[in-house]
Every structure is written in C-alpha cells, then in structure tokens.
Amino acid sequence: MKVSKEILNLIPYSPGKPIEETKREYGLDEVIKLASNENPLGPSQKVVEALRKALPDLHRYPDASCYELKQKLSRFYEVPTDWLTFGNGSNELIDLLIRIYCESGESILTSDAAFVAYGICAQAARVRTFRTPLTSDFRFDLSAMARSFHDHATQEKIRLIFIANPNNPTGTYVTDAEVKKFMASVGNRDDVLIVFDEAYFEFVRANDYPRALDLVKEFSNVVVLRTMSKVFGIAGLRIGALVARPDVVDLVNRVRNPFNVNTLAQVATAAAIDDSEYLQRVQQTNWQGLDYYYSALKNLGVDHWPSEANFILIDTHRAANDIFEAMLKRGVIVRPVKIKDPATHIRLSVGLQRENEAAISALKDVLKELPSIK
C-alpha cells in the first residue's frame, strides 16, 4: 500500500522513560522520574473520592457534551459555555485544530524549541511547520514570528500560529507587552488562528504574564488551550480544555470523536477545580522546588534558564544522551532535549524535595564523571 512520505518519516513522540522499565533494565529498587512534568503529589484526595463514586456507572457511555463540566469550567474561566470544549488531553486539541484549519500542503508557524506535538501533529496531517529562532534568552521571538507570518503567509498558507506560554522544554514565557504588540499585528484576521497553549498556566509567577483568556474576548482569532495533566495531577486520565469563539468551538465539536473525553476525566476535573487547597499545595511545592534548583545549579555553576513552569532546562555542556544514561544508572530519569547540535540540554521536572535533592546529587556526580564538550 502507498503511504505518504510525511507518514513514513514521522518520528513518534518519545514519552518519558517509564519507572518500571528503568528498574528492570538497571536493576534498581528505587527510581525517580523527573522526565514528564507530572505532578509529584498525585491527584487530590477529593478527586480520588469523586472517581471512586463514579466507578459503578462505568457501563454507561460518557456525556458527549461534558455538560456538567462545561457549566463548571465556564464559571471558572469566566467565559460562556459555548466558548468551551474538551479534548483527550490538550494534545488531541492541537491535533484537531491542525486537521480542521490546515489542508495538506499548508503550514503552521511556531518557534524553534517549541513543544514537539505541534510539529508531529502537523506532519501527520501533511502540514508543514515553519519555525523562527528563539531570542538569545531562549524565549519565543514574537516580533520574528509576526514578521515571518507577514513575509510567508500568502505563499506558504500559514493557518495556525502556536505559542506555548510558558514553553516546554525551555520553561520561558512571553510577556503581556510582547503579546499585545504581536496581536496588534496579527489579531482579528480571518485567515489565521493564534493558539496560546497554556499547559503550565497555574505555575506562572511572573507578573507581566499575559491574560490570554481576555484575548479571546478581544480578538476573533484567538484560541487558548489548558490541560488538567499538570497542575491538577491527572495526566493519566487525559483531558484538556479549549477556549475560543463559538465558531471555532463548533468546528472542533464536529470533528472530534463524540466520546473523546471519558467519564472519569470529566468527574475528576470537576472535583479538581474545586480543591483550591490542593492547588495551593501544588504551587508551593513547585515554587520551592524551582527555587531549590536555582540555588543548587548556581552553586554547581551549571547553565540554566528561569522557568515559569514545573520543570527547568539545563545546559550540561555534555552530550545530552550521555547525561541521560548516567543519570538513569543513578536511578533518576530526566529528559534529554535537542535545542542545538550537538544536543547538550536536559529538562528536569520539579518533584518532591527529596527527589529534587537526589536529582541534583546525581547530576553533580555525573558532571564530574563526563568531560565537558565545550
């Protein structure tokens, strides 16, 4: 059978290495996974209770419209219910947006070192990905993106612009002023949608972080994505939210599978957003962990970037895969990332304090063991 070159050349998304696999392969009793930006506290007890109550009804199909959840989240996000829909993780929403708005041969625009799902979903839909370079401080360069859009939009048919804010794997963000300027240049157009992927929204501390939900009200062509995987600690249930004008939401609802969001994901999310105490604990744990990483990495003299998310990007100046392997041997799973050639960066998620300390201690040993390549 003939399959398109885009499909044949697809490199599957590589998930963080699983804990059990690492234990088996390296003969370890304890393994710490800091590779997938998961919530180290586990889900809220209120979520676990709500899930237990929902179990006897699992013979029923899920509510295809997520009615109850939509009512609740519309109050939480302060948007009308018909401005909201859900996906099987925000990953599915990224995939759906590309399938809806891009024809084969058309393009999306994002940045170098952007969240990898954009490029993978685009390629699977035979859609090309244009990327602008990062700024020198490893942030999305919105001026360059606006310029690139205006230079190439007609010829390359750029239909979607993806801005991960904060971005994964860099942890950096774009400011309110930068976004305002960007929207003045690309806002309210009917030939392109601007997608703000806010997977790490609740972890942000910067006070010049933009309010993308307000942009959905101000501009006709803005989409905001949120996920329940990170701050709410339910990555295993797969649910993400999309906020946009009703015309966009309507198209997503036509194309998505009717039961793309399962019953337990709906129940868990409704319980999670009510538990503000849990949310605060998650934020405090994360911020203390990040501050610990900053000071520990500074003491070690290791290059890193300030993060508004629940992970930190580190330049080890060693081959990233060698660092990854050496850390694995010490029972710590990190994520090697390729930002330049050769790849020397790793991404380290924030865990519990003892996990963070174990990671730093392993990193310290590993950096001594492996020679610097710079």
Ligand X SMILES: *Cc1c(COP(=O)(O)O)cnc(C)c1O
The distance of closest approach from Cβ of residue 3 to ligand X in the complex, given in angstroms and rounded to an integer, is 26
CB-nearer residue toward ligand X: 346 or 362: 346
Q: Is 197 in the site for ligand X (CB under 6 A)?
A: yes
Residue with tokens 């797969």: 238
Q: Quote the tokens at residue 263.
A: 């019953």
**One-letter amino acid identity for 187?**
G
Q: Pick from 39, 85, 91, 148: which binds ligand X (CB under 6 A)?
A: 91
Q: By C-alpha distance, which of 82, 92, 93, 128 is closest to 109?
A: 128
269 in Cβ contact with 118 (< 8 Å)? no
CB-nearer residue toward ligand X: 22 or 349: 349
CA distance 108 to 129: 5
Q: Quote the tokens at residue 102.
A: 């891009």
CB-nearer residue toward ligand X: 44 or 227: 227
The distance of closest approach from Cβ of residue 298 to ligand X in the complex, given in angstroms and rounded to an integer, is 25
Q: Which residue is nearest to ligand X (CB)?
A: 89
CB-nearer residue toward ligand X: 310 or 318: 310
CA distance 63 to 86: 12
CB-nearer residue toward ligand X: 215 or 358: 215
Single out the segment in contact with ligand X by CB under 6 A; choices: 86-94, 243-251, 348-356, 361-369: 86-94
Bridge partners for 85 per DSSP? 242
223 in Cβ contact with 243 (< 8 Å)? yes
The distance of closest approach from Cβ of residue 367 to ligand X in the complex, given in angstroms and rounded to an integer, is 26
Q: Is 227 in the site for ligand X (CB under 6 A)?
A: yes
Q: Is 115 in the site for ligand X (CB under 6 A)?
A: yes
CB-nearer residue toward ligand X: 153 or 162: 162
Per-residue x/- marks for ligand X, 150-169, CB under 6 A? --------------x---x-
What pairing do the DSSP bridges indicate for beta strands 345-349 and 32-33? unpaired
Q: Is 201 in the site for ligand X (CB under 6 A)?
A: no
Single out the segment in contact with ligand X by CB under 6 A; choices: 9-17, 45-53, 71-79, 84-92: 84-92
Q: Is 170 in the site for ligand X (CB under 6 A)?
A: no
Query: Rounded to the nearest 5 degrees, what angle is found at the Cα of 150, between the Cα atoms of 145 and 151?
Result: 95
The distance of closest approach from Cβ of residue 333 to ligand X in the complex, given in angstroms and rounded to an integer, is 16
**One-letter amino acid identity for 97?**
L
Q: 138-154 burial, b for 16+ CB within 10 Å, e for fewer?
A: bbbbbeebbebbeeebe
Query: Rounded to the nearest 5 degrees, what angle is found at the Cα of 145, between the Cα atoms of 139 and 151?
Result: 155
Q: Pick from 229, 260, 285, 344: which binds ligand X (CB under 6 A)?
A: 229
CA distance 358 to 364: 10
CB-nearer residue toward ligand X: 220 or 283: 283
> Which whole-number Å values give the CA distances from 109 to 142, 168, 314, 340, in the listed order?
11, 16, 26, 19
CB-nearer residue toward ligand X: 221 or 269: 269
Q: Is 310 in the site for ligand X (CB under 6 A)?
A: no
Q: Pick from 66, 158, 199, 264: which binds ligand X (CB under 6 A)?
A: 199
Single out the segment in contact with ligand X by CB under 6 A; choices: 83-91, 133-141, 147-155, 274-282: 83-91
Query: Rounded to the nearest 5 degrees, what angle is found at the Cα of 277, between the Cα atoms of 272 and 279?
Result: 55
Q: Is 241 in the site for ligand X (CB under 6 A)?
A: no
Residue with tokens 């492996």: 370
38 in Cβ contact with 259 (< 8 Å)? no
> Which whole-number Å values give the CA distances from 242 to 18, 65, 179, in the listed order?
29, 13, 19
Single out the segment in contact with ligand X by CB under 6 A; choices: 21-29, 177-185, 225-233, 241-249: 225-233
CB-nearer residue toward ligand X: 91 or 296: 91
List residues binding ligand X (CB under 6 A): 37, 89-91, 115, 164, 168, 197, 199, 227, 229-230, 235, 240
